[in-house]
Structure 1
Amino acid sequence: MQILSVSPDHYALNRNYLNQMHRLRAAVFGGRLEWDVTVTEQGERDQYDDLRPTYILAISAEQKVVGCARLLPGYGPTMLERTFPQLLERGSLNARAAKVESSRFCVDTSLEVGRGGSLHQVTLTMFAGIIEWSMANGYTEIVTATDLRFERILKRAGWPMRRLGDPVAIGNTIAVAGSLPADRASFDTVCPEGYRSTVEHSDVGPLRSAA
């Protein structure tokens, strides 16, 4: 398994992976979780995909996308401020240059390879990939809107989230906004053995697990 970061300049070269990503999002958010999202034959997408985000993808040995997340600069526009301001204590992120928003995080939980620990290896690999990309591109803080179940997963991974407001019922879930550190200590905590990535770095070399 390998982490791949796909910036707007590389959308065309990675069109197959991005198409798989949208289908995975449809299966998870529209299917398994039954969220109120827009799903078409091409998969799930929303207006934030039009803002030229960077995507973090987990790619299996069979060249299948088994995990994904979407990253946008925290100064906006962001999903937290425009779609879920009720999750923020002041309705605003107070965004700064070192803050990035992660959204549409999901993994293929049907994947057998990587099971056995307290958390699936794909989940930990995705966490490590998001942290690596964020650090490599000058971000020190990751903000996100998620639910209470995923908040517990982050805590089990040793990467606890600091809440940015009180939980709120949205649709069929209890949502919460939070902030996560993007630093070497967090990377080392979540990074699974054998971690590999092809992450675009602005000015530093690639991170690797100490294992």
Structure 2
Amino acid sequence: MMQLITPELYDEFSSELKEMYGLRHRVFKERLDWDVQTEEELETDAYDGLRPVYLLLKGSDWRIRGCVRLLPTTGPTMLRDTFPMLLGETAAPASARIWESSRFALDLPASTPKAGGLAQATYELFAGMIEFGLSNELTRIVTVTDTRMERILRLATWPLARIGHPKAVGNTEAVAGFLEVSHASLMRIRWRGRLNGPVLWQPVLGLPAYA
């Protein structure tokens, strides 16, 4: 199940958010060894203080297995304010119809089902991002990622349209780009990942965020 956690629901789902910060610590600090802020085995940064939207992927045991953070580009973003070197000669996007994704992470058991060369949970989280975008009339999602994730996106049939050239950031090769938000991109993800119907659900009402 995919949960959509908006700012007005932070208090109600504080335990889920704490579990998410723990997942991010395991993925970004322990596994990838990125230079990120951690405290008490929780990973947070200044962008978590800007009241983002979170998508949380839960497994059959109800543990959080994946997450992604979404912020409008009309305010501060990681691309504009932390990694402007990835923009090249391009201006940072600032549009109500373009949001930024960051802190995409998955922590999956070995038994996780696979489809199209990737864990099926990867497709679910991608589909949830697109469904959120369609629900909010977005046209694109901009992201800062690494070339490893760029290859995963290409394999998932949701290719990244690069903004500039990759650059070394810490111990990774970072790149920025746009992801298309459209019914066509959603259908490709659903087909490739063998997903049936919407994946993103409102946490309180139990209704699809997008159908």
TM-score (norm 2): 0.91
C-alpha separation between the residues in 2 aligned to 1:135 and 1:117? Answer: 24
Displacement after TM superposition at 1:42 (Å) = 5.1
2:200 is aligned with 1:197: yes
Q: Note if contact 1:85-1:91 (Cα within 8 Å) is conserved in structure 2.
A: no
C-alpha separation between the residues in 2 aligned to 1:91 and 1:46? Answer: 25
C-alpha separation between the residues in 2 aligned to 1:152 and 1:159? Answer: 10
Match of 2:25 in 1: 26
Between 1:104-113 and 1:81-90, the stretch displaced more is 104-113
CA deviations over 1:34-54 (Å, ceiling 9, x no partner): 000011115100000000000
Q: CA RMSD in A?
A: 1.7
Q: Note if contact 1:19-1:42 (Cα within 8 Å) is conserved in structure 2.
A: no
The 1:113/1:4 distance shift into structure 2, 3 A limit, reads: same
Q: Note if contact 2:3-2:57 (Cα within 8 Å) is conserved in structure 1.
A: yes
2:140 is aligned with 1:131: no
Match of 2:143 in 1: 144
Q: Note if contact 2:132-2:209 (Cα within 8 Å) is conserved in structure 1.
A: no
Displacement after TM superposition at 1:206 (Å) = 4.5
Q: Note if contact 2:116-2:156 (Cα within 8 Å) is conserved in structure 1.
A: no
2:84 is aligned with 1:85: yes
Instruction: Please tell me the residue identity of whatever aligns with 1:85.
Output: P
Displacement after TM superposition at 1:12 (Å) = 1.1
2:61 is aligned with 1:62: yes
Q: What is the identity percentage for the equivalent residue pairs of Structure 1 and Structure 2?
A: 42
Instruction: Please tell me the residue identity of whatever aligns with 1:121.
Output: Q
Displacement after TM superposition at 1:110 (Å) = 3.1
Q: Secondary structure at the match of 2:152?
A: helix
C-alpha separation between the residues in 2 aligned to 1:144 and 1:199? Answer: 24
Q: Secondary structure at the match of 1:100?
A: strand
Instruction: Please tell me the residue identity of whatever aligns with 2:117.
Output: S
TM-score (norm 1): 0.91
Instruction: Please tell me the residue identity of whatever aligns with 1:65.
Output: I
Structure-to-structure mapping, 1:40-119, within 5 angstroms: 40-41=39-40, 43-90=42-89, 92-115=91-114, 117-119=116-118
C-alpha separation between the residues in 2 aligned to 1:196 and 1:184? Answer: 14
Q: Note if contact 1:159-1:180 (Cα within 8 Å) is conserved in structure 2.
A: yes
Displacement after TM superposition at 1:89 (Å) = 1.9
CA deviations over 1:163-188 (Å, ceiling 9, x no partner): 01110000000000010011111111
C-alpha separation between the residues in 2 aligned to 1:111 and 1:122? Answer: 12
Instruction: Please tell me the residue identity of whatever aligns with 2:111.
Output: E
C-alpha separation between the residues in 2 aligned to 1:88 and 1:111? Answer: 37
Displacement after TM superposition at 1:101 (Å) = 0.1
Say how many residue pairs are matched.
203
Structure 2 stretches lacking a partner, 5+ long: none
